[in-house]
A and B are shown apart, each in its own frame.
Chain A
Amino acid sequence: MAQLFKHAHLVCPERNISEAGWLAVENGVITASSFEHPEQPDETGFSEIIDCKGQILGPGFVDMRAQSSDPGAEHIETLDSLLTAATSHGITSLAILPSTEPVIDNAAMIDSIQLRAGRYNKGRLYCYGAATKQMAGEQMAELGMMTQAGAIGFSTGNTTISDSQMMRRLMTYAKMFDRPVMHHCEDPALSDAIDMNEGETATRLGLIGQPAIAETIILQRDIALARLTGVHYHASHISAASSVDVIRQAKREGLSITADTAPPYFMLNEISVSGFDSAAKLNPPLRTEDDRLAIIAALLDGTIDAIASDHMPIDPDEKAQPFSLASFGASGLDVLVPMSLKLRQTHDMGWPHLFSLMSYRPAQILGLAGGKLGIGAPADLVMINPDSAYILKSADFKSQSRITPFEGTPCEGKVTGCWVGGKNQFQQ
Chain B
Amino acid sequence: MTAKQRSHQVPPLKSGHLLGIAGLGVDEMNALLDRSSFFADIITSPDQPDSDVGKILQGVTVVNLFFENSTRTRVSFEVAAKKLGASVLNISVSGSSVKKGETLVDTATTLNAMHPDILVVRHHAAGTPLLLSRHVGAAIINAGDGRHEHPTQALLDALTIKRSFGRIAGLKIAICGDIANSRVARSNLYLLGALGADLRFVAPSTLLPADVDKLGVPVFTDLDDGIAGADIIMMLRLQKERMQGREIPSQHEYFNLFGLDSASVDKLAGDAVIMHPGPMNRGVEIASSVADDPERSLITQQVEMGVAARMACLEALRPTGKTDRKGS
Contact = CB atoms under 8 A, between A and B. Distances in A.
Contacts of B244: 139
B252 A142 contact: yes
Contact of B206 (A133, A138, A173): A173
Contacts of B222: 176
B56 interface: no
A145 B256 contact: yes
Nearest to B250: A142
B221 A166 contact: no
Most interface-central of A133, A143, A145 (chain B CB within 10 A): A145
Contact of B246 (A140, A142, A143, A175): A140
A140 B205 contact: no
B180 to A, nearest CB: 11
A176 B221 CA distance: 7
A175 B204 CA distance: 10
Contacts of A142: 249-250, 252-253
B79 interface: no
Interface string A145-185: 10000000000000000000110010011011000000000
A165 B257 CA distance: 23
Nearest to A133: B245
A141 interface: yes
Given A144-B256, A145-B256, A176 B245 contact: no
- The dominant DSSP class at the A interface is helix
Nearest to A175: B205
Contacts of B60: none
Interface residues of A, number: 17
A210 interface: no
Most interface-central of A138, A165, A173 (chain B CB within 10 A): A173
B245 A132 contact: yes
Contact of A169 (B206, B252, B253, B256): B206
B126 interface: no
B249 A133 contact: yes
Nearest to A141: B249
Given A139-B244, A176-B221, A144 B206 contact: no
Contact of A173 (B204, B250, B252, B256): B204
Nearest to B256: A145
Contacts of A144: 249, 253, 256-257
B102 interface: no
A352 B246 CA distance: 43
B213 interface: no
B248 interface: yes
Contacts of A176: 204-205, 221-222
A138 B246 CA distance: 7
B256 A140 contact: no
B52 interface: no
A133 B221 CA distance: 22
A143 B253 CA distance: 8
A140 B204 contact: no
Contacts of B249: 133, 139-144, 173
B247 interface: yes
Given A142-B253, A144-B257, A172 B246 contact: no
B202 to A, nearest CB: 12
Interface in A366-425: none
Contacts of B206: 169, 172-173
Contacts of A139: 244-246, 249
Interface in B184-228: 204-206, 221-222
Interface string A292-307: 0000000000000000
Contacts of B253: 142-145
Most interface-central of B204, B249, B250, B253 (chain A CB within 10 A): B249
Contacts of A138: 245
Nearest to A174: B205
Nearest to B221: A176
Interface in B106-160: none
27 contacts: A132-B245, A133-B249, A139-B244, A139-B245, A139-B246, A139-B249, A140-B245, A140-B249, A142-B249, A142-B252, A142-B253, A143-B249, A143-B253, A144-B249, A144-B253, A144-B257, A145-B253, A145-B256, A145-B257, A165-B246, A166-B246, A169-B206, A173-B204, A173-B205, A173-B206, A176-B204, A176-B221
Please name the 4 residue pairs, one residue from A and one from B, whose CB atoms are nearest each other, closest first: A139-B245, A142-B253, A142-B249, A140-B249
Interface of A: 132-133, 138-145, 165-166, 169, 172-173, 175-176
Given A139-B249, A173-B205, A173-B206, 16 more contacts: A132-B245, A133-B245, A133-B249, A139-B246, A140-B247, A142-B253, A143-B249, A143-B253, A144-B249, A172-B205, A172-B206, A173-B249, A175-B205, A176-B204, A176-B205, A176-B222
